[in-house]
């Protein structure tokens, strides 16, 4: 974090999260900085997690603004992601166990066609390794213990889904989605349509509502 960066006592700050750190780790760093500024323990919270492998925009709330965290968490988001074809992952991302599915190389036209069913309102099943609570317990905690996790499907909205680049095995997309949409699930579902398997190899949150990652303060993993 920029050593000259000042954290507001009651408000919101934009943080550009790097890969390799948890969302709670980001909160802890901001809390430590604000506590040092105030000379007392500060109240800091986030408005929506990012997976450790993911990067990008996090809205961090402090002090009295923490009471509005849930309102921010319901806002639309924009992501850029790399969907890697030919493999599946036990977690839907690079941190899981990878399994080869197919060596078939789809055409660009086939990839573009595979994106079409995922525009608009869609039904999606969140990943087993997610922070969703099942009977009061986090799904990822149950999954790590080998317990069977049945997460209900949900309706989400993909307002825009754009193919940025396709160089096999990587499909780079930009997606503007409603709150609660999982890009890891989207990647896996696209892989099923293409019959190649797929997982989300890279993920970056670029916007939350009208807030942009370009305006955020970067922090390091150190």
pLDDT per residue over 45-57, tens digit each?
Answer: 999 889 999 999 9
Q: What b/e readout covers 71-95, taking b as 16+ CB neighbours within 10 angstroms?
A: ebbebebbbbbbbbbbbbbebbbbe
What is the share, in percent, of the chain residues with pLDDT greater than 90?
A: 77
- Helix, strand, coil proportions of the chain in percent (round to 5)? 25, 35, 40
Indicate which residue of 51, 141, 165, 170 is catalytic.
51
Q: What per-residue confidence (pLDDT) applies to 1?
A: 57
Q: What per-residue confidence (pLDDT) applies to 117?
A: 97
**Residues 176, 202, 204, 185, CA torsion sign:** positive
| Long-range contacts at 50-53 (CB < 8 A, ≥ 24 apart) | 50/17, 50/23, 50/203, 50/205, 51/93, 51/184, 51/203, 52/19, 52/20, 52/21, 52/22, 52/95, 53/19, 53/20, 53/93, 53/94, 53/95, 53/202, 53/203
Q: What per-residue confidence (pLDDT) applies to 126?
A: 81
Query: Could you give all domains of the chain from N- to C-terminal order, each with its CATH number?
Result: 11-74+209-218 (no CATH), 77-207 (3.30.2350.10)
Average pLDDT score, the chain: 90
In three-state secondary structure terms, 154 is: strand
Q: What per-residue confidence (pLDDT) applies to 138?
A: 56
Residue 141 bears catalytic tag: no
**pTM confidence score:** 0.90
Task: Flag whether pLDDT at 143 surpasses 80.
Answer: no
Query: Model confidence over 82-134: pLDDT tens digits?
Result: 999 999 998 899 999 999 999 999 999 999 999 999 999 999 988 765 555 55
Least confident of 8-17, 110-119, 133-142, 202-211: 133-142
């Amino acid at each position: 974090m920029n050593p000259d960066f000042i954290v507001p006592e009651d408000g919101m700050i934009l943080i550009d999260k790097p890969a390799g750190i948890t969302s709670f780790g980001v909160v802890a760093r901001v809390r430590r900085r604000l506590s040092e500024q105030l000379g007392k323990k500060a109240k800091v919270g986030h408005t929506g997690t990012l997976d450790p492998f993911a990067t990008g925009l996090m809205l961090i709330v402090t002090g009295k603004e923490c009471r509005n965290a849930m309102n921010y968490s319901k806002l639309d988001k924009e992501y850029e992601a790399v969907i890697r074809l030919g493999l599946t992952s036990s977690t839907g991302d690079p941190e899981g166990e990878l399994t080869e599915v197919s060596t078939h190389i789809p055409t660009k036209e086939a990839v573009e066609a595979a994106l079409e069913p995922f525009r608009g309102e869609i039904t999606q099943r969140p990943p087993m390794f997610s922070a969703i609570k099942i009977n009061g317990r986090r799904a990822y905690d149950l999954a790590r213990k080998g317990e069977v996790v049945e997460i209900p499907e949900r309706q989400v909205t993909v307002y825009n889904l754009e193919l940025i680049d396709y160089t096999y095995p990587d499909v780079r997309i930009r997606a503007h989605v409603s709150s609660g949409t999982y890009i890891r699930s989207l990647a896996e579902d696209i892989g099923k349509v293409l019959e190649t398997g797929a997982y989300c190899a890279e993920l970056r949150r670029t916007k939350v509502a009208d807030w942009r990652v370009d305006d955020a303060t970067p922090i390091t993993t150190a």
